């Protein structure tokens, strides 16, 4: 059981032992960044391969804190690097650039040199024969994933998926590592180590777990009827084991856990504050999932959805594929993020420069890790 002592936010107690960690109140970059426009609580997208004038104005809004990219934003590596550069140059404190780039069927950039990455279920299969080899290979994959994205200017990938594979969710499926939470936690830790070696943070999703429900929250409102105890012992366990020192951000599920709270987890103070922040002593960034998904519709219009997510404790909300709704939200939202929330977001930004693509290709470390990916996929 984890417990963060009252009046002290920079360590928690695990089985009676104090464990210290960096957090929002002790962030060494907080003061040096205070004179710049801080990151806002909204992440938006862009429509094409270069910015329009309207998008430049949108991204300069004080409410914007990040940009999420999709496959439509990619033609070539040079073009992607140019797009990221233009986004970063818009503000003195660069916006966070993120992407869903997990491997398998969720990999936004697939051509012009980007390495095809295995689905995470492959590592779960390898684990059954050789657990240590599975962890080694997951680390190599995390490194390739992070290094290639960073070489093009992307700061964060929304990975890894921590959902358990119950064999019922088509939207999760092979994106999950394994059925057992212990295996998921170990393989996720290994993948995150690879990301960290590339200078990239991680985001675990979809808290407390999306794998048990069949419905796809992109198109429906899934309902999970299990008890709190079962969810905490199974699906939510990896989040507690990893913690914010390893997993600096999480994304709640647009799933209603009807025995616990009538609101989806991403709109639930109980899930975000009572469970995640208090019971699990988690002090990383909490992103909402995309507020335009059907699973978010229960909260109302786009303003009501954002207010519900931010009010529940999310640090940043995502508005994807609907620029009209992004503009509406930026015009209507009245929200001042806490300094602590802003410092959490700042900790996700890369803290060291990354090799460009040409330099990356010359690194033996990268060449070896990249070669392994084709071997993993080919079996």
Catalytic residues: 218, 289
- Residues 75 and 89: their CA atoms lie apart, in Å, by 21
Sign of CA dihedral 226, 229, 235, 239: positive
Contacts of 303 (CB under 8 A, 6+ apart): 328, 329, 332, 333
Sort strands 2-3 and 17-20 into parallel, antiparallel or unpaired: unpaired
Question: Could you tell me if 94 and 125 are in contact, meaning their C-beta atoms sit under 8 angstroms apart?
Answer: no
Question: Could you tell me if 124 and 173 are in contact, meaning their C-beta atoms sit under 8 angstroms apart?
Answer: no
Q: How many helices (H) and strands (E) does the chain have?
A: 13, 15
Tokens standing for 106?
A: 């969720």
- Residues 261 and 223: their CA atoms lie apart, in Å, by 11
Residue matched to tokens 């594979």: 165
- Residues 370 and 364: their CA atoms lie apart, in Å, by 10
Tokens standing for 23?
A: 């957090």
Contacts of 298 (CB under 8 A, 6+ apart): 221, 256, 263, 264, 267
- Residues 200 and 151: their CA atoms lie apart, in Å, by 11
The H or E element that residue 285 is part of is strand 285-290
Q: Is the peptide bond before 206 cis (omega within 30 degrees of 0)?
A: yes
Tokens standing for 123?
A: 């590592």
How much of the chain is in helix, strand and coil states, percent to nearest 5?
A: 40, 15, 45
Please count the other Cβ atoms lying within 10 Å of the Cβ belonging to residue 220: 16
Inter-CA distances, 65 with 40, 43, 258, 316, Å: 4, 6, 32, 8
Helix, coil or strand: residue 352: coil
Helix, coil or strand: residue 170: coil
């Amino acid at each position: 059981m984890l417990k963060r002592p009252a009046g002290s936010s920079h360590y928690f107690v695990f089985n009676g032992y104090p464990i210290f960690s960096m957090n929002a109140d002790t962030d060494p970059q907080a003061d040096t960044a205070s004179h710049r426009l801080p990151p806002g609580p909204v992440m938006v997208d862009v429509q094409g391969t270069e910015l329009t004038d309207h998008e430049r104005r949108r991204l300069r809004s004080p409410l914007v804190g990040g940009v999420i990219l999709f496959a439509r934003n990619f033609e070539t590596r040079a073009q992607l690097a140019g797009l990221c550069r233009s986004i970063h140059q818009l503000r003195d404190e660069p916006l966070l650039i993120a992407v869903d780039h997990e491997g398998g069927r969720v990999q936004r950039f697939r051509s012009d040199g980007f390495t095809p990455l295995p689905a995470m279920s492959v590592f779960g299969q390898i684990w059954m024969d050789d657990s240590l080899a599975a962890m080694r290979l997951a680390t190599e994959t995390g490194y390739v994933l992070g290094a290639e994205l960073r070489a093009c200017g992307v700061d964060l990938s929304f990975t890894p998926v921590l959902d358990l594979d119950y064999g019922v969710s088509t939207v999760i499926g092979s994106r999950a590592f394994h059925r057992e939470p212990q295996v998921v936690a170990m393989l996720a830790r290994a993948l995150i180590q690879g990301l960290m070696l590339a200078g990239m943070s991680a985001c675990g999703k979809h808290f407390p777990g999306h794998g048990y429900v069949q419905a796809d929250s992109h198109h429906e409102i899934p309902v999970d009827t299990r008890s709190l105890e079962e969810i905490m012992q199974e699906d939510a366990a990896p989040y507690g084991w990893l913690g914010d020192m390893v997993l600096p951000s999480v994304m709640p599920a647009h799933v209603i856990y009807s025995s616990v709270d009538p609101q989806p987890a991403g709109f639930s103070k109980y899930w975000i504050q009572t469970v995640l922040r208090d019971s699990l002593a988690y002090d990383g960034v909490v992103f909402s999932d995309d507020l335009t998904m059907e699973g978010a519709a229960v909260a109302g219009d786009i303003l009501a959805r954002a207010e519900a997510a931010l009010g529940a404790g999310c640090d940043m909300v995502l508005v994807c594929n609907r620029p009209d709704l992004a503009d509406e939200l930026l015009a209507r939202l009245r929200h001042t993020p806490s300094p602590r929330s802003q410092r959490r977001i700042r900790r996700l930004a890369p803290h060291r420069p990354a090799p460009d693509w040409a330099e990356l290709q010359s690194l033996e470390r990268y060449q070896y890790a990249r070669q392994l990916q084709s071997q993993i996929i080919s079996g």
